[in-house]
A and B are shown apart, each in its own frame.
Chain A
Amino acid sequence: QVQLQESGPGLVKPSETLSLTCAVSGDSISSDYFWGWVRQPPGKGLQWIGNIYHTGSAYYSPSLKSRVIISLDTSKNQFSLKFISVTAADTAVYYCARSRPYYDLNDLRGGPFDYWGQGILVTVSS
């Protein structure tokens, strides 16, 4: 059974960097999947942040790209999210998830998210 578990601080100050880790069990992050992050502001809908393929190639939401880095740590079977210069608008539940790859013509893309972590609430406040 694949399981994902987010960890990190629940409170971050404005202008600082938000760092989260997703520990994966029951699968290897080196297997043929994408690993991604999705967030949900309180009471609102879901927003895709980005994905990283097992090769290390990362893809980001255009609206967040300038502030986000997703990376893999194969030695610990986990992947991470770094979000710089956060503001109150970045307050959300952050989910990590596994995404099945697919090919659209010749483009490799991340598909549906089939396994999710339980989510971690991160509040940006001084």
Chain B
Amino acid sequence: DIQMTQFPSTLSASVGDRVTISCRASQSISNWLAWYQQKPGKAPKLLIYRASSLEGGVPSRFSGSGSGTEFTLIITGLQPDDFGIYYCQQYGRFPRFGGGTNVEIK
């Protein structure tokens, strides 16, 4: 069973900042990784799939990178609407989500 670890668990940043969220898999998952944004009371929204492919309609300030066990989500130029909890997800044989990173706007 592949475990996913995200860090930090919480971060606070200002509008315009570059924000980096990390995700580590307990074993290699190639690039079978997705990132989601979830706002309070709402379903998660797919942002990135296959580690670095931007989902249609998602702003280009979101980007993903990594392969194997280390992955990163970057928000370049944080916007007020970007608050929420971000989850990574490996979608191998038994999908699993990371614990989440709560992004707060200063």
Contact = CB atoms under 8 A, between A and B. Distances in A.
Interface of A: 45-48, 51, 59, 61-62, 95, 97, 99-100, 102, 104, 107, 109-114, 116-119
A102 B38 CA distance: 24
A123 B2 CA distance: 29
A110 to B, nearest CB: 6
Given A48-B96, A110-B91, 13 more contacts: A45-B98, A45-B99, A46-B89, A47-B97, A48-B89, A59-B94, A112-B89, A113-B36, A113-B44, A114-B46, A114-B49, A116-B43, A118-B43
B67 interface: no
A109 B55 contact: no
Contact of B43 (A47, A62, A95, A102): A95
B87 interface: yes
A22 to B, nearest CB: 12
B97 A61 contact: no
A119 B43 contact: yes
Given A62-B1, A113-B46, A116-B43, A107 B93 contact: yes
A119 B98 CA distance: 19
Given A116-B43, A117-B43, A109 B91 contact: yes
Contacts of B99: 45
Contact of A111 (B38, B45, B49): B49
A102 B45 CA distance: 19
B69 interface: no
B87 A104 contact: no
A102 B50 CA distance: 10
Nearest to B93: A109
Given A45-B99, A104-B32, A61 B94 contact: yes
